[in-house]
Amino acid sequence: MGNLFQTLLSGISSKGSSPLQDIIDKGKEALENVTKEAEKMGMEKGLDALTKVAGKDSSFNANGHTYTQKGTLSIQMYNPAATGLVTFTNVPSNYAEFEQVYTEFLGKTPYGTAAMMPMAMAIYGRDRAEGERCIRLINYPTNVNSILSQLKEKFGTSQYAPENDSYHQPYLPAAVLEGATPDNGYSPNHPYAISMRASANKHQDIQMYEGRVMYIYMMGKGWDTEQRSVEIIQVHEGELFKVFNCPALYTQCKNIRGTWKGLQ
């Protein structure tokens, strides 16, 4: 019966338009519309559920320091209205604390991982060896060398870039912290806070690196655009996130007015 019906439809279709063919076409169009609407509703429900779960504050204590994170930025689905917020009372004191915060807390979310990059830069400014270990820990291997080569120039002094040279910018980590501006000597609010939102660029699955990359805007007053793009990758679902690319974070920011007091 099924084959006979298909043959009948085929014969009708070959003869051009007919009342039955019009009914079939309208049925197909209605089915497509219902499918699209169902997919849209599924996406909206997924975003609503994600907002309710991920939008809640969560906190973590390590070495007497408190870290919090909340957000709706997700590697699973792109939401142009998604945001993230990470606060911390102190920059991690050493690599051991940094590793603990990353592996047990902030590294489990894309926005938490992104926020650890300024922390790693601040640690590098205090201790090159400790800072390099932190940078290697949270970054995808292909991103490490470019970061280190730039920070050596931005944080180091030489006969070509003495301490009073504008190219020497040890305050770069604070340029994305809330409240910090060139005019106030990049003195941020305390506890420190990093605000993020979804990039205009949607997620990408990159076969070469066998992972999904998402793009996050990190907000800050250190640049005219007031947003710094950071790329975050997750190779396998459930694994800790890594920083895939972040040149915007070590790009020359506005020169400081006043004296850099450092971060706690």
How far is the C-alpha of 174 from the C-alpha of 187, rounded, in Å?
Answer: 7
- What is the per-residue burial (b if ≥16 Cβ within 10 Å, else e) of 168-202? bbbbbbbbbbbebbbeeebbbeebbbbbbbbbeee
How far is the C-alpha of 254 from the C-alpha of 232, rounded, in Å?
Answer: 25
Evaluate whether residue 101 is within a structural domain: yes
Evaluate whether residue 124 is within a structural domain: yes
Give yes or no for a contact between 153 and 249, defined as CB atoms under 8 angstroms apart: no
pTM: 0.77
Evaluate whether residue 197 is within a structural domain: yes
How far is the C-alpha of 109 from the C-alpha of 45, rounded, in Å?
Answer: 21
Closest C-alpha among 170, 212, 221, 234 to residue 194: 221
pLDDT by 10s per residue, the chain, length 264? 444 444 434 444 444 456 666 665 665 665 566 445 544 544 444 444 444 444 456 999 999 999 999 999 999 999 999 999 999 999 999 999 999 999 999 999 999 999 999 999 999 999 999 999 999 999 999 999 999 999 998 887 554 445 556 678 989 999 999 999 999 999 999 999 999 999 999 999 887 777 899 999 999 999 999 999 999 999 988 899 999 999 999 999 999 998 888 999
How far is the C-alpha of 79 from the C-alpha of 214, rounded, in Å?
Answer: 11
Evaluate whether residue 73 is within a structural domain: yes
Evaluate whether residue 254 is within a structural domain: no
Extended strands (E) in 113-260: 192-198, 204-206, 211-219, 227-234, 242-245
Give me the number of domains the chain comprises.
1
Measured from the Cβ of residue 78, the count of other Cβ atoms closer than 10 Å reads: 18
Evaluate whether residue 145 is within a structural domain: yes
Parent domain of 105: 58-249
How far is the C-alpha of 216 from the C-alpha of 232, rounded, in Å?
Answer: 8
How far is the C-alpha of 198 from the C-alpha of 127, rounded, in Å?
Answer: 32
- CB-based burial label for 29 (10 Å; 0-12, 13-18, 19+): exposed
Evaluate whether residue 255 is within a structural domain: no
Evaluate whether residue 35 is within a structural domain: no
